[in-house]
């Protein structure tokens, strides 16, 4: 490190120490105050907690894990709030794993599903029914013009699996690239493009799948203070890039090019990536990476797949889709989660040429395009538009980001804040200089404390040290203030 960089780093640390000391003195005795809510949950009617615990330990797969030392026993939801079996209210900042986009039990979505369930629960798409066709028309109107063919399925994993199949059939090639630290599902195909060791089983998988260096400007080998298309930037990595360029992005693209030259045939099937990695810990790719990566992939005959399972439907704020903020146009788009606000539904959208590649043999999905799911999905689009939720993601998301950045300056255990809109992450460390991940027992203690104080957040990243903050898109600045007060209280206790 150059002398002036060392001096700057020391000055920042000294200033941060002063801010942290002042903030702690001011906030040490402040109790978080939960915003009011006029919704009253119904009296609890369900299996006693002890019975649930016994059934879960005996009759459910041990692979089904629970969050928190004392698991939440959820009973009822209302917009951004969850109520447990004892009536305690929580601010849900994880939205059922980034799924309840417009809010729990949104009245418009509830009414749409009730109307549909009275008419037709289910018929497969071998018959015509209105909601499937209405939704397909509404959905493609939100995408680039030639991305106008939809295949409905049940989940993000299934949609990604199908996208990989389409890429291979269309190109006649087999090899597919993803990013290290990526999560795209756990179906047989997607296990190959999921590249997190703690999700990897000791079984042969991933034949034909390759992972390039993850363009993580905080934890990766290259990065700086101007790399992200966001107000959340890495604090202590000097960036000397000229306007319109990103040296870190160029380095990661060089790694992709090098990997393809050494490890792949001349023609490949495709490349799959999230613009902001979800399960991987809200890693926000540097600006310029995806356009250059797409160009390299297309030079080898591959198609580009945008995984919008978590970033889609307005969550990034500035755009309806993450790939739009990244400045790219994919060949295949994969959707799920917020698509129907929690109803099991996914979709693959592509152009007519790629879609036709699936017709060489029969392919069928019994529940794809289910009438109830499509009715819910139509209502979701209505709510996003009527309540201006994309705009709310931008404004409330910016407010949330700035408050989280203030926390980062106050507490030395916060290494990085990143994301855009209402897709945010806060990575915890033991040491800001070395970026050593916070020890799991400390992360869990902090996590449990925030839950006891009234907020629910996810965890992610390879080390499980990043808090994933992806709330229902209807939250308010008042909710944000409460969440920040909870984080501050829990951090003071830590």
In angstroms, the CA 182 to CA 160 distance is 12
User: Which pLDDT score, from 0 to 100, does residue 302 have?
Assistant: 98
When the pLDDT of each residue in the chain is averaged and rounded to a whole number, the result is 93
Q: What is the pTM of this model?
A: 0.94
Residue 177 · residue 151 · CB < 8 Å: no
User: In this model, does residue 401 exceed pLDDT 50?
Assistant: yes
Class of domain 3-98+389-493: alpha beta
More confident residue, 27 or 482: 482
**Worst-scoring range by mean pLDDT, 6-15, 81-90, 232-241?**
6-15
pLDDT-based confidence at residue 1 (cuts at 50, 70, 90): very low
Q: Which two tokens stand for residue 202?
A: 């000791």
pLDDT number for residue 20: 57
Q: What percent of the chain has pLDDT over 70?
A: 94
pLDDT of 245 higher than 90? no
Q: Which long-range contacts (CB under 8 A, 24 or more apart) does 112-121 make?
A: 112/375, 112/376, 112/378, 112/379, 113/343, 113/372, 113/375, 113/376, 113/379, 115/375, 116/371, 116/372, 116/375, 117/372, 119/371, 120/371, 121/371, 121/372
* Band (2; pLDDT cuts 50, 70, 90): very low
H or E element that contains 152: strand 149-153
Which segments of the chain belong to CATH 3.90.1150.10? 3-98+389-493
Q: Please give the Cα distance from 89 to 81 (Å, whole number).
A: 7
The answer as to CATH 3.40.50.740 being correct for domain 108-386 is: no
Report the length, in residues, of the chain: 494
Q: What percent of the chain has pLDDT over 90?
A: 88
Instruction: Kindly state the average pLDDT of the residues 369-393.
Output: 98
pLDDT in tens, 351-368: 999 999 999 999 999 999
| pLDDT surpassing 60 at residue 12 | no
Dump pLDDT digits (tens) for 153-208: 999 999 999 999 999 999 999 999 999 999 999 998 999 999 999 999 988 889 99
Instruction: Please give the DSSP secondary-structure letter assigned to residue 92.
Output: E
Kindly tell me if the per-residue pLDDT of 19 is higher than 60.
no
Q: Where in the chain is the domain with CATH 3.40.640.10?
A: 108-386
Tell me the pLDDT band of 5, cut-offs 50, 70 and 90.
very low
Say whether pLDDT at 293 is over 60.
Answer: yes
pLDDT reading at 270 higher than 50: yes
Identify the band that residue 3 occupies on the pLDDT scale cut at 50, 70 and 90.
Answer: very low
β-strand pairing of 346-350 with 332-335: antiparallel
Tokens for 296?
Answer: 């390299």
Express each pLDDT in 20-68 by its tens digit: 555 554 455 678 999 999 999 999 999 999 999 999 999 999 999 899 9
């Amino acid at each position: 490190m150059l002398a002036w960089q060392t001096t700057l780093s020391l000055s920042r640390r000294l200033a941060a120490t002063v801010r942290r000391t002042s903030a702690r003195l001011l906030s040490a005795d402040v109790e978080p105050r939960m915003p009011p809510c006029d919704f009253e949950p119904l009296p609890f009617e369900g299996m006693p907690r002890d019975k649930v615990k016994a059934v879960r330990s005996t009759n459910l797969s041990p692979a089904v894990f629970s969050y928190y030392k004392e698991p939440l026993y959820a009973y009822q939801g209302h917009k951004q709030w969850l109520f447990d079996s004892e009536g305690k209210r929580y601010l849900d900042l994880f939205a059922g794993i980034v799924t309840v986009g417009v809010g729990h039990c949104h009245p418009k979505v509830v009414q749409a599903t009730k109307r549909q369930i009275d008419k037709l629960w289910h018929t497969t798409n071998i018959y015509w029914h209105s909601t499937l066709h209405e939704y397909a028309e509404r959905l493609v109107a939100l995408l680039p013009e030639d991305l106008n063919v939809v295949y409905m399925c049940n989940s993000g994993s299934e949609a990604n699996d199908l996208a990989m199949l389409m890429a291979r059939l269309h190109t006649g090639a087999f090899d597919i690239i993803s990013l290290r630290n990526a999560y795209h599902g756990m179906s047989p195909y997607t296990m190959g493009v999921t590249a997190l060791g703690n999700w990897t089983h000791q079984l042969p998988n991933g034949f034909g799948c390759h992972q390039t260096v993850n363009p993580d400007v905080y934890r990766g080998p290259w990065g700086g203070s101007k790399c992200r298309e966001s107000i959340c930037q890495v604090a202590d990595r000097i960036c000397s890039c000229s306007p319109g360029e990103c040296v870190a992005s160029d380095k990661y693209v060089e790694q992709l090019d090098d990997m393809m030259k050494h490890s792949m045939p001349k023609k490949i099937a495709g490349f799959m990536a999230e613009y902001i990695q979800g399960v991987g810990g809200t890693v926000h790719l540097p600006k310029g990476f995806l356009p250059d990566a797409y160009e390299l992939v297309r030079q080898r005959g591959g198609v580009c797949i945008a995984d919008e399972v978590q970033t889609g439907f307005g969550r990034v704020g500035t755009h309806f889709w993450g790939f739009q903020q990244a400045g790219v146009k994919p060949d295949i788009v994969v959707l799920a989660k917020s698509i129907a606000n929690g109803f099991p539904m996914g979709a693959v959208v592509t152009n007519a040429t790629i879609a036709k590649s699936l017709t060489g043999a029969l392919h069928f999905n019994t529940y794809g395009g289910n009438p109830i799911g499509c009715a819910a999905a139509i209502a979701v689009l209505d709510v996003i538009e009527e309540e201006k939720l994309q705009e709310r993601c931008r404004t409330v998301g910016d407010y949330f980001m700035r408050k989280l950045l203030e926390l980062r300056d106050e507490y030395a255990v916060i290494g990085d804040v990143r994301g855009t809109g209402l897709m945010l992450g806060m990575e915890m460390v033991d040491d800001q200089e070395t970026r050593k991940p916070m020890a799991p027992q400390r992360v869990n203690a902090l996590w449990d404390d925030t839950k006891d104080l009234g907020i629910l957040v996810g965890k992610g990243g390879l080390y499980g040290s990043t808090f994933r903050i992806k709330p229902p898109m209807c939250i308010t600045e008042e909710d944000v203030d409460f969440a920040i007060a909870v984080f501050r209280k829990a951090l003071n206790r830590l």
